[in-house]
Chains A and B, each alone.
Chain A
């Protein structure tokens, strides 16, 4: 199977990062702050939904976002052939 080239790799990394941050913004700001009052007319787990989103749901989704990031980046690493072997220590590299 042909390996992904570096340019594509970075483009894919940026694309996925971008979409994760879109979800981050929607969950952390749009639903939890801008739309909290309309959302509060609904209930979840006995609690107004906007309030629940701000104090519980957002945190849960943030955790899932980082999980998704770790999994997706691992797949990209393997597709581009840049995955690091277990048990090795990656040496310092250039900052650019």
Chain B
């Protein structure tokens, strides 16, 4: 079967599994719909939270961002994990102790105020809409590349499938679906990372391989761009900005309504604490690998530029495939262009998905 055939096949298989799980965990009452009847085990809840995390931003975009930012990409790595520590020790167990359904509930009762409850509800709506918009962008990117459809159709197809299993299974269906999703996602993320680590350095563990790649990458980046990948506080990312953005991301992460709500779905407060640990552990497997993936991608792209130049790169099939989606603006490429200009024509969101293709063809 061709690659597109296999892609359709695997997409169909995984989505059938998700919908099957949704049907198996059909809910009938409010407690089931909103808090999964409070019966989710800690490890499973941890995996579900992690899968939630490994959505468009963390799975697809983050390594790309880090790849372009170098050290300064740490704002995302630390912001989205450090904030989780705040959530785990300051919020999650106490919300579970409170035990109702939603965050605005908690705010209203804790502060004896219906106004506070309404404000919290409005804030949650704003956060949720912003978050969903980001997710839908991710869905669009993935479907447009792999099913070779327009980004708008990609979004519509994704929305239809998600709506189906969310409505059927409520929180219970979503949680168990996400346990399955976590397994698929982490394997999908780690396999290329291990393979590329091994190809580049002979060391399969990306966290150790990056030690061999970084010196070469720093050298290459210095020659082509005049700064080092590992150099802190480049450009507008001075120390104050790095500090403020990290802190903002940490605080924001601690307040994400769709994550907080997950701590209502376990049996006891002690399970809420342990599921927070499992969640960060599971998501940590991705976050600890992303910097390596970022470096590998950056190294390959700079190396290709160094060895082939822009005209030579146009012959590479990964460049052609992604140019079709409009996410690499090859129309702007010319022979004399600088590395910096070429890099600016590449959409950062493609890096995670493109890296396996890049590694196969330019090594």
Residues of A within 8 A of B110 (CB): 95-96
- Are A66 and B230 also in contact (CB < 8 A) when A58-B82, A93-B98 are? no
Q: Are B268 and A89 in contact (CB-based, < 8 A)?
A: yes
Listed by A's residue number, 11 A-B pairs whose Cβ atoms lie within 8 Å are: A20-B89, A45-B210, A47-B230, A54-B78, A56-B291, A60-B284, A66-B84, A69-B277, A74-B270, A89-B39, A92-B99
Chain B residues proximal to chain A, CB less than 8 Å: 38-39, 66, 71, 73-74, 77-78, 81-82, 84-86, 88-90, 93, 96-100, 106, 109-110, 207-208, 210-212, 214-215, 230, 232-233, 239, 242-243, 246-247, 250, 267-270, 273-274, 276-277, 280-281, 284, 287-288, 291
Q: Are A37 and B270 in contact (CB-based, < 8 A)?
A: no
Q: What's the nearest-Cβ distance from chain A to residue B243, in Å?
A: 5
- Are A37 and B96 also in contact (CB < 8 A) when A45-B211, A59-B78, A90-B267 are? no
Alpha-carbon separation in the docked complex, A65 to B243 (Å): 21
Q: Is the interface of A mostly helix, strand, loop or mixed?
A: helix
Alpha-carbon separation in the docked complex, A46 to B230 (Å): 12
Q: Are B276 and A70 in contact (CB-based, < 8 A)?
A: yes
Q: Are A46 and B71 in contact (CB-based, < 8 A)?
A: no
Residues of B within 8 A of A70 (CB): 270, 273-274, 276-277
**A4 beta carbon closer than 8 Å to chain B:** no
Number of A interface residues in the complex (CB < 8 A): 46
Residues of B within 8 A of A41 (CB): none
**A2 beta carbon closer than 8 Å to chain B:** no
Q: Are A54 and B89 in contact (CB-based, < 8 A)?
A: no
- Report the tally of A-B residue pairs with Cβ distances under 8 A: 147
Residues of B within 8 A of A74 (CB): 270, 273
Q: Are B71 and A66 in contact (CB-based, < 8 A)?
A: no
Alpha-carbon separation in the docked complex, A59 to B243 (Å): 16
Residue from B74, B86, B96, B215 whose CB has the most chain A CB atoms within 10 Å: B74
Q: Are B77 and A33 in contact (CB-based, < 8 A)?
A: no
Q: Are A83 and B288 in contact (CB-based, < 8 A)?
A: no
Q: Are A24 and B85 in contact (CB-based, < 8 A)?
A: yes
Closest to B275 in A: A70
Q: What's the nearest-Cβ distance from chain B to residue A7, in Å?
A: 17
Alpha-carbon separation in the docked complex, A55 to B180 (Å): 28
Q: Are B270 and A84 in contact (CB-based, < 8 A)?
A: yes
Apart from A40-B232, A54-B77, A74-B273, what are 11 other A-B pairs with CB-CB below 8 Å? A17-B90, A36-B71, A45-B208, A47-B210, A47-B230, A62-B81, A62-B82, A63-B280, A92-B98, A93-B97, A94-B109
Q: Are B99 and A33 in contact (CB-based, < 8 A)?
A: no
Q: What's the nearest-Cβ distance from chain B to residue A55, in Å?
A: 4
Residues of B within 8 A of A93 (CB): 97-99
